[in-house]
Structure 1
Amino acid sequence: MDGSGLGVLAVGLVLCFFGVRSLHLAVATSGFALGWLVAEPLGASVLTAFLIAVGAAVAAWVLAVLVFRTALFFVGAMCGGVIGAKLFGLLQQEGGSVVLAVLFVLASAFIVGIAVQRFRHGVLALACALGGAGLALSGLARTFPEVLGFLRYPQVPWETLVATAGWLALAGVGWAVQQRVVRDRQMSPD
C-alpha cells in the first residue's frame, strides 16, 4: 500500500463533491489535480509530483484572483485540464508523448473553460466532479497499486473500460451532490 495516494485521493474527493461550493477551493484543488495528473504519467517521483501539484495549486489560485473577471473560464479551464489529463492517462500508456499530453490537456482545458463561462454553475459542477473523480481514482491506484493500479494506467481494454466506468460513476455521484448544493444555495433566503 502506497500512502502517498491517500492525499491525492482526499484532494480528488474534495474537488469531486465540494468543488462548486467555493471558487477558491475549486481553483486550488483543480490546480493541484492538474499538476499531479500531468506530472504522474510523465514518470515524476511522488515528491516531484507533489511539489508540482502544490505549485500548480498556488499558481492557479493566484492567477484566478488576478483574473477575477474571467474566473469562471479559468476554473473551468483548470477542471478541463484535469479531465484532459485523466482522459490522456486512460487512453495512453505510461510514458507517452509529452507534446501530445500538453496539447490534449490544453485543448480540453480551453473547451471546458468556454463551456463553464457560457453555462456557469451546472457545467462547473460537472467539470469539478469529473476532475475530482479522476484524481480520486488515481489516488486509489497509487494507494493500492497491486489491485487498483490499472485505474492509473490501464494496460488492456477491459481495464480501460472498468477504469472509465468507475471514473464516470464516481463523477456522477459527485455531480449529483454538487447539484444539490447549487439548488440549496439558490433556494436559500440569504
Structure 2
Amino acid sequence: MTGVGVLVVGLLLCFAGVASLHLAVLASGFALGWLVAESLGGSVAVTAIVAACAAVVAWILSTLVFRAALLVVGGVAGGVIGAKFYGLLEGGDGNVVIAIVFVLAVAVLTGLATQRFHETALVWVCAFGGAGLALSGLARIWPSTLGFLRTPDTTAEAVIDAAAWIALGALGWSVQRRWLRRKATSKA
C-alpha cells in the first residue's frame, strides 16, 4: 500500500506540480522526506511519518518565506532529484555523509535555478522530482520485479532506471508545459 501512495504523490508532482505551488511544495516535501528516511533504513511507518512531517515543514517554510517560495520549492524538489541521482550513481552502498552533502548541493543549485528562472525551471524540477518518486513507488509496489528502480544493483539496472526516469520526467515536463501554454493563452 505504501508504494501506491508514493506512486500517486510522485505522479501528481510529475504531471501537475506546476499547477499549484502548494501541491508542489507538499509533494516535494513528502518526496524528500520519504527518500531520505528510506535511504537511511527507516521502517515504513517511520518513513511515512518523516515524509508527512517534511511535507508540512516544506509548506510552512514556503508560506513563511513567500518571496523565496520558488527557492524553497526548487530546493526541496531538487533534493528529490539529488536523492534519485545519488541512488543511480551509488546503488544501495553509498556513504551517508556523502549522500547528504550531494543531496543538499543539488537542492541548493536547483533552488537557485528555480528562483532565477521561475516557471521554466519549476516545470523541470517538478517533472523530474515527481518521476523519481513515482519510480520509487513502483519499486515498492513490485519489489521483486521493479525493486531496481529504487536502488539498482547492476549497471544494466542503473541504465534502465535512468532511462525510465528520463522518459517519465520528459513526459511530465511535456504535460506541464502544455498546461502552462493553455493557461497563458486563456489569460490573453
Contact 1:8–1:138, Cα closer than 8 Å, also in 2: yes
Specify the alignment match of 2:144 in structure 1.
146
- 1:93 CA drift (Å): 2.9
* Residue correspondence of structure 1 range 92-171 to structure 2 within 5 A: 92-94=90-92, 96-171=94-169
SS state of the match for residue 188, structure 1?
helix
Contact 1:41–1:96, Cα closer than 8 Å, also in 2: no
* Residue correspondence of structure 1 range 1-190 to structure 2 within 5 A: 3-94=1-92, 96-189=94-187
In 1: Cα distance, 2:171 partner to 2:158 partner: 20
In 1: Cα distance, 2:98 partner to 2:144 partner: 28
In 1: Cα distance, 2:187 partner to 2:157 partner: 47
In 2: Cα distance, 1:52 partner to 1:92 partner: 23
Aligned-pair identity in percent equals: 56
Gaps (5+ residues) in structure 1? none
Gaps (5+ residues) in structure 2? none
SS state of the match for residue 94, structure 1?
coil
In 2: Cα distance, 1:66 partner to 1:170 partner: 32
SS state of the match for residue 43, structure 1?
coil
In 2: Cα distance, 1:65 partner to 1:133 partner: 25
Aligned length: 188
- 1:189 CA drift (Å): 2.8
In 1: Cα distance, 2:93 partner to 2:160 partner: 21
Q: CA RMSD in A?
A: 1.0
AA at the equivalent of 2:24: A
Question: More deviation in 84-93 or 144-153?
Answer: 84-93
TM-score by length of 1: 0.96
